[in-house]
Structure 1
Amino acid sequence: MASEGPDIEEDDAGEFLTIAVGAGDAGGRLDKTLAGLTEALSRARIQALIAEGKVGLGEAVLTDPSAKAAAGDYRITVPPPAPAEPLSEPIALDVLFEDEFLIVVNKPAGMAVHPAPGSTSGTLVNALLHHCGSSLSGVGGVARPGIVHRIDKDTSGVLVVAKTDAAHQGLSKLFAAHDIDRAYMALTRGAPHPARGVIEGAIARSASDRKKMAMVKTGGRHAITHYAVERQFGPEARPTAAQVALTLETGRTHQIRVHLASKGTPCLGDQTYGSGPPAEPVRAAMTAAGLARQALHARVLGFVHPVTWEPMRFEAEPPADMAELIVLLEAL
């Protein structure tokens, strides 16, 4: 017999629903059974809560939505909704330049640029809201105030953020016209051949993995990356790693990482686009250097100030993990 509905409690940790599954309802899929006994949660939401360990029966925490439902009282914890606007957080920033119109920062690896599912705090936007207060441009939207461009969470380097709508619009036009100097440095598995060249190929969402990007023959967005090998490490005839300078004509999602992987020389430490492990001496150097992300750094950002029209150029040296890795690779 179906329950009359869940009992609902609430405190600062969120809502707690108790759903009674009778003997007549037992035996079916857990997620489907629980969803059929309440209108408060969809089946998809119940599946997500099970995956998060928020559903229990007695002392047991349930983790498999396809398991058979047993009779008993199921307790479901529903966390409170995330705030609609990002919160200010006192996170230290490496500020390279700041005026009343914009701010240029050296973003550390591991910091997401703006809040997103899975990264709702500790982002650059959270830090900027504390640093800049209410002066950030609102053009980027509630979750992305001031953000004109992005670099990946695990990529370090220079990034500019608008503090006024006029600056935001001006910077956006520069990026749209590709009138921005952007130079990156990567440490790669092996060395691209030839040592200098252009990688050109459209990029789109991967058909086999929606979390990845891929080069495609039809559709996608045109992408151009210029590269030059600055130094090679290991045997001269067959280098095991390289330091590569890259400049962008376009700014597609994961562009450098996808383009380097297409050459068979992905960024060291790239868990998404690295198709195979580097040589053992390189792996040992990565471990010793503490490199736990893709070895990619946004080294230079140059543009004309969108309000004062002053030419501006900012450069940030690679952080400790990449700098130490270079030293260790030179000893190979």
Structure 2
Amino acid sequence: MAGWAIAVHGGAGVDPNLPKERQEAAKKLLTRCLTIGISALRSSMSAIDVVELVVRELETDPIFNSGRGSALSEKGTVEMEASIMDGAGRRCGAVSGVSTVKNPVSLARLVMDKSPHSYLAFSGAEKFAKQQGVEMVDTEYFITEDNLGMLKLAKEANSILFDYRIPTVGSESCGAAAEAPPMIMNGLPISVYAPETVGCVAVDGEGRCAAATSTGGLMNKMIGRIGDSPLIGAGTYAGELCGVSCTGEGEAIIRGTLARDVAAVMEYKGLSLQAAVDLVIGKRLDGGGKAGLIAVSSKGEVAWGFNTVGMFRGCATGEGFMEVGIWD
């Protein structure tokens, strides 16, 4: 019997000048979610149930960019995305463009379990949510004063702001020297790179892997933009060997099919989990793409990697290892 393992993330690309109190608040939430997941795994809950449980908790707290506190689109609305995948049988479910579903990850789970499809979006996803009786809330529930302020700044800068939790003073240089060129994504200047998507991967005592990812997307994103988080094989993947959840520049993650590639090099090259993660982060993010990911293997291993300054993360194994961190 394999040992269990779990990892959570709250986004990659942290500004080194992030205030200590915000660092501690993020680490406290990650620790709480990790503890919830550990307890569930110790009580023999299946991996797929664990990742849904943990991501629901992350979606309910406004610290990260998912569920409550989601990034706002160019129209000041929320278009949330989530996906979930059960490595046992490679079943999956995903949603995009939901605006009144309190916990998008649970709607993704219902798409997997209760619909003939793998992916529902916008009005179709909202209709399905009502049919399934999931908890719905007014759109105001998701919109925070911080996000309204950052959307205003993004519009003034004609910019997509990835991180809306970091003070904007000096952020145009991303904490670098004043003469450093501004950061760019798809031709648009960005203030600080840190999307703060959330995710969880777990392997249970039976060796079953699962993964789930949830996000509000990008601040000031175009209406209808879909990132990597709901795309199976890009932002989320789970199979017989591993479970993976990604975070970072969605467009780069999509181009690199990051999550699936971790599993692929394990399957076809025989790499270990950490070696697979290192290879994918090092080789598959073309064009200067920035991202990070967490992963578990069916053997009870846990791994993570990123090419950004930092990544909000936590991990634990049945052998007693536990860590919560931000920096390398």
With a CA cutoff of 8 Å and minimum separation of 6, indicate the structure with the bigger relative contact order.
2
Greater gyration radius: 1
TM-score of the superposed pair, with normalisation by structure 1 = 0.22
TM-score of the superposed pair, with normalisation by structure 2 = 0.22
Q: Which has the higher helix share?
A: 2
